[in-house]
Amino acid sequence: MNSTSVDKAMWHNVRSIRISASERPHMIKTSRKPHPRLAEDMLTRKDICTGAMMYGRRAEATAVRKFAQQTGKCVKHTGTVILKQQPWLCCTPDGLCEDGLLEVKCPHSRQKSIIVDFENKKSTVQYLVYKDGELMMRETHKYYTQVQLSLYVLGMTKCHFFVYSSAQQVHVEVPLNESFVSGIVPRLEDFYFCHLLPLLAKEKITQQ
């Protein structure tokens, strides 16, 4: 793996000065704001913790255990991972398996309900969709961007995307989309060095 791991104590500082796979890439990809304004918004944005987010954090450990039980896979935990060749880019995996990344979602709206109606081929969450009769991730959703950038940072080719509720668990294998990654990484790099990094440097100088 051409990356390095950071423990939880350094988690916030490490992510705040980088583009992490979870949110910023999709914002850069989809926002209509001018990039200078978007960079300012990223640095002034306050962390919020909603009820849905709190539920997701509480349920994550249960979901990981359920995935391990159902698949027989050993799941290893790591902190934030920084890509050595491009250290401005990082990700924080929910878990790592011998054959890929584990990304877990625990939707608050479906915590006691089914996630997918397999008989009628209907998904109740926006990020899963049927295409040609096959259940897969919706490529325009922010979670897909998160998965693809995480795979890129980790140097892996497959993600086990596991959606958990107490009523049902859904496991979708998501392959690395090299075309998607090669299209978005240069845009992220340009945004970081042209807009985000100068603001970070200015902020650091102001604090001294």
The answer to whether residue 109 scores a pLDDT higher than 90 is yes
If you average pLDDT over residues 145-169, what whole number do you get? 98
How far apart (Å, rounded) are the C-alpha atoms in residues 94 and 75? 9
How far apart (Å, rounded) are the C-alpha atoms in residues 107 and 74? 24
How far apart (Å, rounded) are the C-alpha atoms in residues 6 and 4? 7
CA 155 to chain centroid: 15
Q: Tally the domains of the chain.
A: 1
The answer to whether residue 84 scores a pLDDT higher than 80 is yes
- The residue written with tokens 């996630």 in the block is 115
What digits encode the pLDDT tens for the residues 176-205?
A: 999 999 999 999 999 999 999 999 998 776
| CATH number where 89 lies | 3.90.320.10
The predicted structure's pLDDT at residue 54: 86
Domain that holds residue 103: 3-207
Confidence class of residue 2 from pLDDT cuts 50, 70 and 90?
low
> Mean pLDDT over all residues of the chain?
92
The answer to whether residue 48 scores a pLDDT higher than 90 is no
Confidence class of residue 15 from pLDDT cuts 50, 70 and 90?
confident
pTM of the shown model: 0.91
The predicted structure's pLDDT at residue 8: 53
- The residue written with tokens 């919706």 in the block is 138
If you average pLDDT over residues 157-168, what whole number do you get? 98
The predicted structure's pLDDT at residue 208: 57
Which of 54 and 172 is assigned the larger pLDDT? Answer: 172
The predicted structure's pLDDT at residue 3: 57
How far apart (Å, rounded) are the C-alpha atoms in residues 164 and 107? 7
